[in-house]
Structure 1
């Protein structure tokens, strides 16, 4: 009798381990979004996918086959959503001019301006998208010579985290973009064609802020629609968030994902204790634009890594 009771208790422990992973996989696959805190939690799906191996192995070792089967199915579902980010994708046959894009969140203007300008000089982007650009930060980086490198710009600095800007090597004109933050949007004329560029920064899904603000910011972004469009910046979303996946489904590709670096973490880089990193900073390019390189760069003073993508436009 004691042996039977012990077996039942052990089976119960295994199911306690299995059920949370199964629920996570079901929510991730179906795209359902329960109330906060699921929206920020789903960003950690790559870690959960790795940990989901444990109950599958434990169930198999203990021959608890129903639990092992559910655990294995959950593990497979999570892996199917995560592992492709580690594999490079094919590119369209784009033989047009190169377009280099750099995006950086300056964390309320605290990013080190000298280090930032050194990065710009090193990478030589054609387009620079900035987020959390305060008036003081804009003054500092322009005084250091940013306009000498990227003379054309739409600059919308603001106190706090709402400011943004797009600096460019080629002429730009501003386009309106609805949303809660000042997400700068421009059309850049380059090599006889126009490229739509947005410095992306929707609200963060925070317990002190309603998630509709976050979702509306992502929904307000222009769909790809087969056009030459680039969205770059702090999306406050990973490839596991349905609004970002919906945006990609409109015809964008994530540069890091295409380059096989979709698991490269960009936040948080400092000040958040033991919180593991997630990939919330992106460069999205229209499907006709090739991605030839991607990299992420740590900047002193900010908790985000800058992201850089080398693109090539179609002929």
Structure 2
């Protein structure tokens, strides 16, 4: 075989490798733009959409600069994919310029999936103490987990609570609670709800834990649709927080946000925060499944993630300001 033939064969292999590399990002982009991930197996890899952007950028750099991989069509295709992905992702990295009046009352909230109560209860109490949390939502917390949190001293810091370990989630608070209970919608299990009064206003809280798409995409999609229905009926002073088993790239999450909620991370330009998995050797958190969403009566002031030993999720901590009526975005 001549050197020229070998060169053609090598180029053919390079082109095939580029096709293989760009195929998944292109597929995810089409699904992301069409919103066809719900109730389909694509719902699971959809959480990797930001990483597919990185893959496209790597292919672009290599095909543009490495002589053995140089290919005009690969450069054009990968560049187009990078631009399209960037256009989709960009809004979550641009902070919203919300006017929050000085001296606006604030609520410090947090959510944590305790991994069946395995989260270190003393670490949870320390998180509440150091972050001065007003309202804490815990998910996947059975009766034994509730007891462990009480024994660790959470009751002293947060004497008010709406507990539903028989279902999944509970809400703790420094402030008195009212109108507690659970949702009565088509979710795999009821979601815990309650209200907190702050500055004379009643803020409605929903502790969220949906089914997971890897187990049953249709069940997960119904959970998200049911939460969207609840959000449409909610008042402006509403907070949904918990483990949604969904990222900002899922169509069902975007539907939930379109019902009148704002993701505090995206609002603050922190749209690629990662909360899961935690505790795996040599594997950092990769995706964000845990969120704090709020209605137009509030605005995000800060958001962050905290590691709590014993659980595979990071806690999300957020500070929310209560806006005067005139400053609400509807």
Give your verdict on TM over 0.5. yes
* Closer, same or farther: CA 15–151 of 1 in aligned 2, 3 Å: same
Q: Give runs of aligned pairs for residues 31-46 of structure 1, distance below 5 A.
A: 31-33=35-37, 36-46=40-50
Contact 2:182 2:190 in 1 (8 A): no
| Residue of structure 2 in register with 1:277 after alignment | 286
| Residue of structure 1 in register with 2:206 after alignment | 198
Q: 2:217 aligned to 208, 211, 216, which one?
A: 211
Deviates more, 1:17-26 or 1:2-11: 2-11
Verify: 1:174 aligned to 2:174, yes or no.
no
Give SS of 1:52's match: helix
Shift of 1:180: 1.1
Q: Give runs of aligned pairs for residues 4-15 of structure 1, distance below 5 A.
A: 4=8, 6-15=10-19
Contact 1:131 1:233 in 2 (8 A): yes
Cα distance between partner residues in 1 of 2:40 and 2:181 = 33
Deviates more, 1:248-257 or 1:19-28: 19-28
Q: 1:263 aligned to 261, 268, 272, which one?
A: 272
Gaps of 5+ in 1: none
Shift of 1:14: 2.8
Cα distance between partner residues in 2 of 1:308 and 1:184 = 19
Deviates more, 1:45-54 or 1:84-93: 84-93
Contact 1:98 1:312 in 2 (8 A): yes
TM-score (norm 1): 0.90
Verify: 1:79 aligned to 2:83, yes or no.
no
* Closer, same or farther: CA 230–42 of 1 in aligned 2, 3 Å: same
Verify: 1:144 aligned to 2:152, yes or no.
yes
| Residue of structure 2 in register with 1:164 after alignment | 169
Supply the RMSD in Å over aligned alpha carbons.
2.3
Give SS of 1:18's match: helix
Shift of 1:94: 5.1
Cα deviations by residue, 1:236-274 (Å, 9 ceiling, x for unpaired): 111111111111112211111222222121110114764
Cα distance between partner residues in 2 of 1:78 and 1:249 = 21
Q: 2:51 aligned to 39, 42, 47, which one?
A: 47
TM-score (norm 2): 0.86
| Paired residues, number | 310
Contact 1:152 1:172 in 2 (8 A): no
| Residue of structure 1 in register with 2:263 after alignment | 254
Cα distance between partner residues in 2 of 1:6 and 1:118 = 59
* Closer, same or farther: CA 14–127 of 1 in aligned 2, 3 Å: same
